[in-house]
Amino acid sequence: MVAPDPGGLRRAAELLRRGSVVAFPTETVYGLGADAFNARAIAEVYRLKNRPAWNPLIVHVPGVAAARELAEEWPDAAQELAARFWPGPLTLVVRRSSRLNDVGRTAAGTIAVRVPAHPVARALLDACGLPLAAPSANRSEGISPTTAQHVIQSLPEVPLVLDGGPCALGIESTVVDLTTSPPRLLRPGAFPLRAIRAVVGRLALPGDTVADGAERPSPGMGRRHYAPRAKVVLTDDVDGDLPDSYGVLAYQGEEGPRREILSADPREYAADLYAALHRLDDAGVSVILVQPPSDGEDWLAIRDRLHRAAAG
């Protein structure tokens, strides 16, 4: 764990330029970064995370110009979304430039890009001068890390973790595919859908058919994902006496041992969700009872993560 001061940033940038990997904070979750153009570094990311090869990585860049260099086409919608909402927790999927080698390769010939807002992520992008492929810095299918300590617990082999404190948003970026008509939501996340709709109009949700007929769900949205070690059960029945092997995650009621009460505000809830799941895992519970969050689009990303955590 290294402070993101000039010396720490210099060491991190040096490792990245030599083809090693570095974990760093973003406003959403911590990422495991690697030079997006270095096949060996990318392979190390997949190995450390135990990530399946078919699941492509998001590439983090310092600004719109760098994003356009990775794209074969930069549609008007990309231009406008980027101009309005970058830096921020919005990832855009566009056609991948044919000049690129294996970067973020998918069968569909696309690439996912975003400009992160976190000052440490931005300082690191500046210091290394590389586009950084960075998935969340956790073992595949586990809970994403929102502190440097979570990264070290999940991936002890990572050579350097820049410690930027807890992530402000606490849930991953929203991923939108701009290669379909209408654009399609691939992963709900920290960025609100209504802001995207204000630019693109209609937005297809996962499961909707898009005009070009392509069935193109997000490769990374496996059913079981974002899961703690403990078994997650969604239930309204979270009160009363429970055995020590049970934990509770709710947004009403009294806190207590192995009882995490999160905010009833979806942004605050999201900010603490993964940290609370990590705490319950650390407490050694084998079952986590989760009070189902309310309906409504503000809770979409949270419902998505909890249902995946409970699947399988």
Taking the least distance from each CB to ligand TXA, the nearer of 15 and 238 is 15
Give the start-end residues of each E strand in 226-270: 231-234, 246-250, 259-261
Residues 20-79 interacting with ligand TXA (rule: CB under 6 A): 26, 28-29, 31, 55-58
Q: Which of 122, 218, 242, 298 binds ligand TXA (CB under 6 A)?
A: 218
Q: Residue 38 or residue 91: which is nearer to ligand TXA going by CB?
A: 91
Stretch that binds ligand TXA, among 66-74, 87-95, 122-130, 294-302 (CB under 6 A): 87-95
Helical segments of the chain, H only = 6-17, 39-49, 64-70, 76-85, 119-128, 148-154, 193-200, 266-282, 300-310
- Return the closest-CA partner of residue 219 out of 32, 47, 28, 57: 57
Rounded to the nearest 10 degrees, what angle do helices 300-310 and 266-282 cross at? 20
For residue 98, the SS3 value is coil
147 touches ligand TXA by CB under 6 A = no
By the rule CB under 6 A, 131 interacts with ligand TXA: no
Nearer to Mg ion, 91 or 179 (CB): 91
Q: Give the footprint of Mg ion on residues 159-218 (CB under 5 A).
A: none
Residue 28 contacts Mg ion per CB under 5 A = no
Q: Could you give the CA distance from residue 302 to residue 66 in angstroms, rounded to a whole number? A: 31
- The CA-CA-CA angle for residues 42, 221, 285, to 5°, reads 95
CB of 39 to ligand TXA, least distance (A): 16
Indicate the pairing of strand 58-60 with strand 90-95: unpaired
Candidates 26, 28, 136, 173; binder of Mg ion (CB under 5 A) is 136
Binding residue for ligand TXA, selected from 15, 70, 93, 280, defined by CB under 6 A: 93
Q: Which stretch binds ligand TXA (CB under 6 A): 150-158, 218-226, 289-297, 299-307?
A: 218-226
